[in-house]
Amino acid sequence: MNHDERYAGRPADDVTPDRAQELLARGGDLSETPGDAVWERIRAEIEGADQLAPRRRRARAAGARRRPGRWPLLAAAAAGALVAWVGTEVVGAGQQGEEIVVADATLQELPDAGGAVDGSAEVVSVDGERRLRVQLDELPDTGSGYLEVWLLRPDVSGLVTVGVISGTTAEFSLPAAVDLDEYPVVDISREELDGDPSHGGLSVVRGELSTASAGAGDPPPVATDPLTDTPARSDREAYP
Amino acid sequence: MSVEDGDDDAIAVAWENAEPEALERAYRRWGGLVRGLARRAVGPDDADDVTQAVFVSAWRGRATYDRDAAPLGAWLVGITRRRIADQLRARQRQVPVAVAREQQDVPDGSAWTAADSTDLLTIYEELERIGDPQRRIILLAYVEDLTQREIAERLDLPLGTVKTHTNRTLARLRTLLGGAR
């Protein structure tokens, strides 16, 4: 087919390529599905919050519980999520004693939060004991349930529960055994009163603690700036 | 290129019902488009990150998807636009000069300005909104560079239908892009 014949078939008003045509031509073929690597990353990130694909039966069979109608968090924690109760709420926690901020985080709303709720979290060392202090700008709607505070691995392959937050602020005592380098992500989830101790899969806010080293009794003297804390991660979790 | 008949609506139904396979099906169907658009906007280095962010945030926000309001592909392109904006904002926070860098990241040498990549998003969002056969006709015509006659044969449509769809869809895109200016 020669050139003239080729263009003879074009619509009459197609003499001058317009912007749409030019951009489509320049953009080229956008339909090539990206590699499985990206898909695996998507799955890994999602898997923390719900079950996804049939291929993860393996992980479920490995011990995660399934409930109809629920999205058990970490059902697919292939690495084997261990749910452990670590926090003890500090009642009447005051400012007594010398207190050092070990790490802090900005908490940002997640898509299912049902409204803009932000907050902050910090880990302080008081007389050698680490405390996780959580503050929410406002109390998210909990419906008939309640809010639970967790520490997660960044890839959500494991989590530890810290305790229940019933107001906009709460403070929890963290045992020395909890490694904040391993579980740096503060997550607050909406839970139902269903007797199921695992994460309900509905996180309302989340943020990553920014810390250099949080070994018990050996806090770094200076906390790092939370604003430099992995912006890509929080962007990723913004409202679509 | 995958302009073959898809079961886009079936994927959208599965998505709306939060069926476990829906995310992977959507990724297989629109992942290339999302990543391609991201690549034109933020360069290859960050395109995978944006693609990941698009599908993760889309899935987490799936309760906000309304099939009556938009086809799933158009909705995903809309999310792509926002995640690209996030990425560019994050760059500005991190490295003030990073925005200038993005154009060198595109290996085909043609510089993609912010206006170009924004318009390309608009075009694909609208094509996903219009759906087939118009979408396929436009892509075959201007991405694959087929003649109207070849498209008619490929899609087994009357030549007149192909021409009408092409003209109308182009006019619609022209209006959209013009209106954005």
B30 to chain A, minimum CA–CA distance in Å?
Answer: 7
* B110-130 per-position pLDDT tens digit: 578 888 999 999 999 999 999
Q: Does residue B180 carry a pLDDT above 60? A: no
Is there a single domain that holds both residue B25 and residue B88? yes
Q: Does residue A157 carry a pLDDT above 60? A: yes
> Does B148 contact A11 at a Cβ distance shorter than 8 Å?
yes
* A163-178 per-position pLDDT tens digit: 888 888 888 888 778 8
B133 to chain A, minimum CA–CA distance in Å?
Answer: 16
- Residue B57 structure tokens: 């945030």
Which of the listed ranges A72-81, A151-160, B67-76, B100-109 does the model predict with the highest average pLDDT? B67-76
The CATH number of the domain holding residue B176 is 1.10.10
Q: Choose among A18, A24, A46: nearest Cβ to B59.
A: A46
**Comparing C-alpha atoms, which of B96, B92, B99, B127 is closest to residue B114?**
B99
Is there a single domain that holds both residue B1 and residue B69? yes
Structural domains in chain A (count): 1
Within a domain: A200 = yes
Rounded CA-CA distance A110/A114 in Å is: 8
Average per-residue pLDDT in chain A?
Answer: 64
Domain residue limits at B159: 132-181
Boundary residue ending a domain (B113, B148, B166): B113
pLDDT confidence of residue A9: 43
Residue B170 confidence class, pLDDT cut points 50, 70, 90? very high
Is there a single domain that holds both residue B156 and residue B109? no
Average per-residue pLDDT in chain B?
Answer: 85
The CATH number of the domain holding residue A89 is 2.60.40
Is there a single domain that holds both residue B87 and residue B18? yes
Within a domain: B101 = yes
Rounded CA-CA distance B13/A150 in Å is: 33
Rounded CA-CA distance B149/B134 in Å is: 15
Within a domain: B121 = no
**Comparing C-alpha atoms, which of B87, B84, B74, B61 is closest to residue B122?**
B74
ipTM of the complex in this document: 0.85
Q: Choose among A11, A29, A231: nearest Cβ to B1.
A: A29
Q: Choose among A25, A54, A237: nearest Cβ to B142.
A: A25
Domain residue limits at A102: 83-236
- Residue B171 structure tokens: 């006019």
* B1-24 per-position pLDDT tens digit: 443 445 888 999 999 998 889 999
B143 to chain A, minimum CA–CA distance in Å?
Answer: 5
> Does B32 contact A53 at a Cβ distance shorter than 8 Å?
no
- Residue A72 structure tokens: 């058990």
Among A205-209, B120-124, B145-149, the least confident range: A205-209
Boundary residue ending a domain (B64, B82, B113): B113
The residues, ordered by sequence, that sit 6+ positions from B100 with a Cβ below 8 Å of its Cβ are none
pLDDT confidence of residue A101: 72
Within a domain: B125 = no
Within a domain: B159 = yes
pLDDT confidence of residue A165: 87
> Does A240 contact B60 at a Cβ distance shorter than 8 Å?
yes
DSSP letter for each residue of B3-61 = -S---HHHHHHHHHTT-TTHHHHHHHHHHHHHHHHHHHHH-HHHHHHHHHHHHHHHHHT
DSSP letter for each residue of A126-147 = ETTEEEEEEEESSPPP-TTSEE
Within a domain: A123 = yes
Residue B94 confidence class, pLDDT cut points 50, 70, 90? low
pLDDT confidence of residue B57: 92
The residues, ordered by sequence, that sit 6+ positions from A20 with a Cβ below 8 Å of its Cβ are B119, B123, B142, B170, B173, B174, B177
Is there a single domain that holds both residue B167 and residue B138? yes
> Does A24 contact B177 at a Cβ distance shorter than 8 Å?
no
pLDDT confidence of residue B168: 95
> Does B170 contact A25 at a Cβ distance shorter than 8 Å?
no
pLDDT confidence of residue B11: 93
Q: Choose among A20, A31, A238: nearest Cβ to B177.
A: A20
User: Greater confidence, A36 or B77?
Assistant: B77
Q: Give the chain A residue nearest B21 (alpha carbons).
A: A53
**Comparing C-alpha atoms, which of A137, A150, A135 is closest to residue A180?**
A150
Rounded CA-CA distance B32/B96 in Å is: 29
